[in-house]
Chains A and B, each alone.
Chain A
Amino acid sequence: MSALAPEADRPATRRRPARSTLTPASGLGLGIAVLWFSLLVLIPLCAVIVTAVDGGWQIFWATITNEQTFAAIRLTVLAAAAVTVVNAVMGTAIAWVLVRDRFWGRGVLEVLIDIPFALPTIVAGLVLLSLYGTDSPLGIDVANQPASVFLAYLFVTLPFVVRMVQPVLEELDTDVEEAASSLGASRLTTFRRVILPSLTPAIAAGSALSFARGVSEYGALVLLSGNLPFKTEVTSVRILGSVENNNLAAAASVATLLLVISLSVIVLLDVLQRRVSRRG
């Protein structure tokens, strides 16, 4: 089979060593990008950490081991984690319906998905309060309950996974699914072993955003949760409390801890995503 030899020996892609490809123009672009990013993100972040460190290790430790603060952090992280899991499942399901199914009102649904993005969160809080508060017309009253935090997080983080998964799903070739089914895979197996690994990076990215957004939420839950210490008080409310008491070091300490938690979750999801999408 010598006819195949020249083609068989030629790899389609070859790894190149990473090396700078900056031209003067792109160098200028990079400079502007870094400056912009520094002004908006890096400097404020450093300021927060510096403020936290300024107070000394003891204040930092005392703040984050404070029982009330710890309860707030625990509620925030657990609720955000639970919401992230729900979003990973529901967001994928909604994206699936939007991409694969043709039904009346699909266009409307497509627009409605983005409402949590567009609505000021305090307005969202008002809506949630009137629907799920003490005078709930639905008979569901979660006001002043930890569940209210969960509900508010769910509302504001809904679009993230949907919007990340949707374009990937649209690009997915149906012949890959057909190939799997002609090889004997059931619909479920095809989804688990062929479709899901392709979607995992998008689901992970959407989940990371959704977690980070949840952790930082304030407006949507502040009305419904009642901000009861040890019960419904979340970290953002706690930070505001510290700021109002002129205890900036404590506020910065909690903020720094939140930052570390969010960052670890994002890294964790990325690692998870790499493993799942390679396994199949």
Chain B
Amino acid sequence: MSIEVKNVSKSFGDFVALEDVNVSIGSGQLTALLGPSGGGKSTLLRIIAGLESADSGSITIEGREATSLPPQKRNVGFVFQHYAAFKHLSVARNVAFGLEIRKRPKAEIKARVEELLELVHLSQFGHRLPAQLSGGQRQRMALARALAVEPSVLLLDEPFGALDAKVRKELRDWLRRLHDEVHVTTVFVTHDQEEALEVADQIVVINEGRVEQIGTPDELYDHPANEFVMSFLGEVTTLSGRLVRPHDVQMQTAPQVPEALEGQVSRMLRIGFEVRVTVLTTDGQEIVATMTRTQARSLGLAEGAPVWVSHLPGAEGVDVPAHGVLAAS
């Protein structure tokens, strides 16, 4: 295990940011800390980096006890949401910063900086100032700067949070490919479940200072441990007291399965390739189902049409506790 977090707790005044958190992160993996804002995921990342100290518990990095080590001695690379660029230094000097601190020979620094700028596709921008780069370019520069010191772990705090949707998606794919090339143990914080599902090998879901579930994207999506994980990872709808995915709702125009509920289509909304159908059942439940346009056509669905809805056999669901339903993300 590359990073071992044991029984870590942290409070800011009355606010409990982390409560007895245990996480193991394997070498060479790309791990996402996923959760809603204010859930404690950034605090955990900052504690791993040494930028924040835990009230109790321990951190081990690459087998080395790091709990009381200052950030300078942890050999971690950290990438910030708002780039944290050294504004007065050129892009190349930004990347060289950690190597210059370590007093490496000039020629070695130059070669390494060139190699890194190549890696992050900024070779022709080395002489520019950070202010002359776009947001995505600045973040790639920050990534090169963090990688320059050959960190044992790379930590990214909402790295794409400040970028617009298109650049974000590009960088996300690029990060995945970069990780496959460089293979450094990487942990990134995100509140975007799509980002986590798409990029990560392993996802740690954190909410209200506690770890809700740890697993691969498939495990989390297919076997959510509780209703929070289920509803945070994707859309949900309630069907006869169970949380299910809208695409797992089976819709028929005649009663074919005994447990099917009778209802009426109350609303149909088309979003691109997908049709979102809202059904009001005769016992007063409102159920949302999604299907492709072709499916909706072949069923001849229209607002007001009578339908029977049931849970697709074999699909996952989570029982809703008596106190009610959590809001979907």
* Distance in angstroms between the alpha carbons of A223 and B178 in the assembled complex: 72
* B323 interface contact, C-beta 8 A: no
**Contact residue range for chain B?**
35 or more
* Cβ contact of B71, chosen from A182, A189, A194, cutoff 8 A: A182
Is A173's CB under 8 angstroms from B97's CB? Answer: no
Residues in chain B near residue A8, CB distance under 8 A: 121-122, 137
Does chain A have a CB within 8 A of B322?
no
- B134 and A12 contact, CB distance less than 8 A: yes
Cβ contacts under 8 Å, A182 to chain B: 49-51, 71-72, 74, 76-78, 146
B173 touches which of A3, A173, A189, A197 (Cβ 8 Å):
A3
Which A residue sits closest to B100, measured CB to CB? A193
Given contacts A3-B173, A10-B134, A178-B80, contact A185 B121 (CB under 8 A): no
Are A184 and B82 in contact, CB atoms less than 8 angstroms apart? no
Nearest CB in chain A: distance from B195 CB, A: 16
Stretch at the interface among B87-95, B184-192, B299-307: B87-95
Chain B CB within 8 A of A244 CB: no
Chain B contacts of A186 at CB under 8 A?
72
Q: How many residues of A contact B (CB 8 A)?
A: 29
Q: A3 and B174: CB pair below 8 A?
A: yes
Known: A175-B82, A184-B101. A280 touches B93 (CB 8 A): yes
Cβ < 8 Å to A, chain B residues 30-75: 49-51, 70-72, 74
Question: Which of B74, B80, B88, B167 gathers most chain A CB within 10 Å?
Answer: B88
Contact check, A184 vs B136: say whether CB atoms are below 8 A apart. Answer: no
Q: Are A1 and B86 in contact (CB under 8 A)?
A: no
Question: Which residue of A is nearest B130, CB measured?
Answer: A12
Q: Which of B74, B84, B121, B135 has the most CB of A within 10 A?
A: B84
**16 sample A-B contacts, Cβ–Cβ < 8 Å, listed by A number:** A3-B174, A7-B134, A8-B122, A11-B132, A12-B133, A176-B86, A178-B84, A179-B78, A179-B80, A182-B72, A182-B146, A183-B98, A184-B98, A185-B101, A197-B88, A280-B86
